[in-house]
Amino acid sequence: MRTFNLLWAGALFIILCGCATRSTVYPEFKQPPTISVSKDTVSTMTETAAEDHLIPGSQVFVAGKGGAARYFGLVGMAIDKSRNESAVTSTQDALRLSFDEELSQALKRGARPVTVSPSGGDVLLLPAARLVMRDDERSELSFRVTARFNGDEGRKNYLYLYGVRPLAGEDGWTANQGRSFKQASGEAMDRLANIIVDDLYGAYRQSTDPAGQRIVRWKLLTGEQIASGVLLKDEPDFLVVMPVFRDKPMTGIVGVLPKALIRLQP
């Protein structure tokens, strides 16, 4: 059974492929940073899995109905992408959402001062959501905001692993015109906005200093695989972490882990 551990690993692989040669350290801003939020989304060529389906007119990707690419190469990727598209044919109107305005408003409400500008900001943010379809008719929802800076030479990604629900039906993501999906996006954009601005202000620098790093380990409730990361912030409902991959902190990725989804390990 696919779990959020595999979703986490897959997201890391995709992001690492897109950011391997880019800076992941923000410059020190001498005044409140200016932030632009894009109506577009990340590159479907280099920053997402090739088989992911982007719902037209949205910032929502659909994944999970794969497997053919292992055996048929590029033809298999096309088959998998078509499968992902077919998985949401009857529900995609409820999923046709964009998050740029939601994220912009969340940035403006934050405790730290920033300027939100339509274009030309010090940092460009590209929000997105990803639904991973499972064999049991449920789907795993995560959110992602990609930050581009230093004239696109810098790149950083923020991941929010949100939860699992049926896609359709009474308790599904798309029920009642996507009410649960919209509620999730509002919560995710609020939290991600605050985390991104904290990062821009250097709030996590001390936590990432090797001398003061605190490593946390966890299992997701849906699996037994142990993951680890550098703890950046411990909130009542969630942890903010920098994932550790092969014993090295991934400085270009910040993850948000709801405590309701994890079991902390010694």
- DSSP assignment of 6-25 equals HHHHHHHHHHHHHHTTSB--
Say whether 185 sits in a helix, a strand or coil.
Answer: helix
What does the block give as tokens for 201? 């202000």
Residue 34 is assigned to a structural domain of this protein: yes
Dihedral of alpha carbons 8, 4, 216, 198, sign: positive
pLDDT digits (tens, 9 = 90+) for 95-145: 999 999 999 999 999 999 999 998 888 999 999 999 888 776 788 899 999
| Residue 261 Cα distances to 105, 161, 162, 179, 257, angstroms | 27, 9, 8, 21, 7
Which comes out higher in pLDDT, residue 123 or 11? 123
pLDDT computed for residue 78 by the predictor: 63
| Ramachandran class of 19: left when φ > 0, alpha when ψ lies in -120 to 50, beta otherwise | alpha
Rounded-to-integer distance, Cα 174 and Cα 66, Å: 22
pLDDT digits (tens, 9 = 90+) for 29-84: 889 999 999 999 887 666 777 778 898 999 999 887 654 444 444 555 565 666 66
Residue 146 is assigned to a structural domain of this protein: yes
Residues 6+ apart with CB under 8 A from 211: none
pLDDT digits (tens, 9 = 90+) for 222-245: 778 888 999 999 999 999 999 888
Residue 63 is assigned to a structural domain of this protein: yes
What does the block give as tokens for 109? 């409400």
Per DSSP, which regions of 41-98 are E strands? 53-54, 60-63
Say whether 222 sits in a helix, a strand or coil.
Answer: coil
Residue 4 is assigned to a structural domain of this protein: no
pLDDT digits (tens, 9 = 90+) for 50-64: 778 898 999 999 887
What does the block give as tokens for 20? 């391997």
Residue 259 is assigned to a structural domain of this protein: no
Residue 228 is assigned to a structural domain of this protein: no
**Could you give phi then psi for residue 128, rounded to 5 degrees?**
-160, 160
| pLDDT band (50, 70, 90) for residue 204 | very high
Rounded-to-integer distance, Cα 151 and Cα 148, Å: 8
Instruction: List 248's β-bridge partners, or say none.
Output: 245
pLDDT computed for residue 22 by the predictor: 61
The structural domain count of the chain equals: 1
Q: What's the pTM?
A: 0.87
Q: Specify whether the CB–CB gap between 60 and 87 falls below 8 A.
A: no
Domain containing 123 equals: 22-209
Per DSSP, which regions of 8-91 are E strands? 34-37, 53-54, 60-63
| pLDDT band (50, 70, 90) for residue 192 | very high
Say whether 263 sits in a helix, a strand or coil.
Answer: strand
pLDDT computed for residue 96 by the predictor: 93
Rounded-to-integer distance, Cα 45 and Cα 212, Å: 38
What does the block give as tokens for 265? 């390990």
Residue 136 is assigned to a structural domain of this protein: yes
User: Does residue 15 surpass a pLDDT of 70?
Assistant: no
